[in-house]
Each structure stands twice: as structure tokens, then as C-alpha cells.
Amino acid sequence: MNINDVMNFLKQYDGDDITIMEVCGTHTASISENAIPSLISDKIHLISGPGCPVCVTVSDYVDRLIELALNGNVIVTFGDMIRVPGSRQALADIKAQGADIRMVYSPIQTIELAKAEPDRSFVFAAVGFETTTPIYALLLDEIIRQGIENIKLLTALKTMPNVIARMCESENTIDGFLAPGHVAVITGSEAFAPLAERYNLPFAVSGFEAEEILASIYALVKLRGTGKVINLYKSAVNEKKNEKASDIVNKYLEPYDASWRGLGVIKDSGMAIKSEYSRYDAGSRELVNDYSHKNGCSCKDIITGIKKPTDCPLYNTACTPESPKGACMVSNEGACFNYITNNRK
């Protein structure tokens, strides 16, 4: 079936209502940028799940970064994390007051920064899913190999399977998942097979172009009610996991019970630095509390698909991309950011 046939089918679909959740921030962005909801039937509902790494990071993590910065450490991070609110402030606030917060495009840049100032302590903010976790493991590997003593990592590294299981058991009625393509490059499409079988739900591993997403939605509609994984991103995703990436991750990191914004602690849903390498950990395992809801933000319901961004009382009033109150409005992978910037309905 060609793409025109796919689009005609999806636009004219008049069967039972069907809800599909994407659990990848890049899919969230692409769906919005390409106005995909306007290309499909009103009976096919697309909702965003916990697929934006910044959005699912608890406020305790931001508070810890702020504490480290105020104690004289140099915080090294990607741009999005600088603006994510903690319980009271964001890194951007204390940067404006003189704290040393540095943005990089690659974690490996931290090594050169630390070498240039050996008398200062550097903390890299390592946030992400299976996609980026191997990069942080490689950073740790290089720090140890070079004997660098003035770098630590503060990690908030999450894994997908157990949080997807939580979504399957939530109050939402989800009929299928757009499986995260970037994650699947590392985990292989087989990572989603146990979930498909357990919950009798279809998973479509999808690329990120509009045609790829539409084809995946079509597949999920056709596969509704069947516990099957279909890989529609074969140019990048194999059935089996990436062994090389898995080996470097397992050398330095281990599963632990991670805390998610709006979801609490989920068993074995994160990766933390092993105890034998704890000297390189800036206190990651203790970060469990989340206070983001106290300002009236509905982020915890938005990242689980219970509410749309427009249901939040702060949306596009007190909370905007220029002045975000919640993490979902900060990242270009966040649902709220994409609703506003792309006028998604």
C-alpha cells in the first residue's frame, strides 16, 4: 500500500475510537510539526506519553544541581536542562546570579573543560533514556581511563519497558504504541515483545518522518487487539539489541528503582552508577521527590496522557515557552511546547 492509500484510509477511518500513545519526544515533536492529527480521522486519538527525558526528571534532580552549583561546582549540561524549574528555581536563575553553568553539545566536552581547570570540580547532568545512556557510560569510561579526578555525573537515566508497563496499567485506555525509534536502535525491537504479549497490544517501531509515522499509525489501527511488534524502521533498528552499547552500559551502570515526574518510583526503571564507581556519582540515587505539581502545573497528568496540555490551567497564561512553569513547556520534545509552537489540537 502506498502512502496515498495510507493517508486516505486514516482520514476516512470510521471504526471504533482508537487511542495511540507515542513514548518518544522526537515523535511528539514530529507529530506536531507535521500536523499529523489534522491528517487522520477524529476517531484516532494520539496522546503523548513519558518520552521526553527532561519532562520526566523530578524536581529533586534540578534542586540537587542547584545545590552543587551554589557550593562551587561547575555544572555542565545540555541547553534544555538549564531552564527546567526545580521546586523553587531553575539553573538559569542561579546562572544569572553568577553560578557557573555551562552548556555543551556533547558530554565528552566535559573532559576538556575539566582538564583546563584542574582545581575546579565539574558535574555533568546526565539525563536521558537508553538512547544516550551508552554515551554517558563512554564518558565515565574515558574519565577513568585518563585518571581525571575532578568530574562527577549526576544521573537521571531512565529505561522504557517498565514505564510503558505502567502506562498499560493506567487509567488510560491505550490501544497501541508508537514505539520509540531512537531507543529501539539500542534495545532492538525485541525489547517491546514481552509488553505486546502481556497486554495484548500492538507496538510499531517507527522512524520520524511524517510518512513513517503515518505508516506506523496505519499498522497500529490494523493490528488493534493483537499483541504484536512490527518494525517499520528497519534502516536503523534490528530485532536484537546493540551488544556493544549494552556491554559498556552494563560495565558501569545497573538497574535501580528510579523516580519519574508524576509517576513516583518505578521498579528497575532507571540505570545508576554501580557502587564500585560511586566516587564519580554526585548523589544520583537519593533524588526521588517531585514538587512540580505544587505550582498548579499539570505536567504529571500531561506526560501520562491523562490530560492534554490545553487542560492545564497554566497553559499559555502563566506558563509559556518564554516563562515555563513545568518541564513539558521547556523542551522542544515536550507536549506543551509542541502544542503552543505548532498549534496542535
More confident position, 140 or 325: 140
Over residues 46-54, mean pLDDT: 93
pLDDT greater than 80 at residue 344: no
Written in H, E and C, the secondary structure of the chain is: CCHHHHHHHHHHCCCCCEEEEECCHHHHHHHHHCCHHHHCCCCEEEEECCCCCCCCCCHHHHHHHHHHHHCCCEEEECHHHHCCCCCCCCHHHHHHCCCCEEECCCCCHHHHHHHHCCCCCEEEEEEECCCCHHHHHHHHHHHHHHCCCCEEEEEEEECHHHHHHHHHCCCCCCCEEEECHHHHHHHCHHHHHHHHHHHCCCEEECCCCHHHHHHHHHHHHHCCCCCCEEECCCCCCCCCCCHHHHHHHHHHEEEEEEEECCCEEEEEEEEEECHHHHHHECCHHHCCCCCHHHHCCCHHHHCCCCCCHHHCCCECCCEECCECCCHHHCCCCCHHHHHHHCCCC
184-208: pLDDT as tens digits: 999 999 999 999 999 999 999 999 9
The mean pLDDT value of the chain amounts to 94
Q: What is the pLDDT of residue 343?
A: 65
Q: What is the pLDDT of residue 299?
A: 85
Query: At the topology level of CATH, where does 1-294 sit?
Result: Rossmann fold (3.40.50)
What are the sequence ranges of the domains in the chain?
Answer: 1-294, 295-341
244-266: pLDDT as tens digits: 999 999 999 999 999 998 889 99
- Give dist(CA 124, CA 74) in Å, integer: 8
Question: Global pTM?
Answer: 0.92
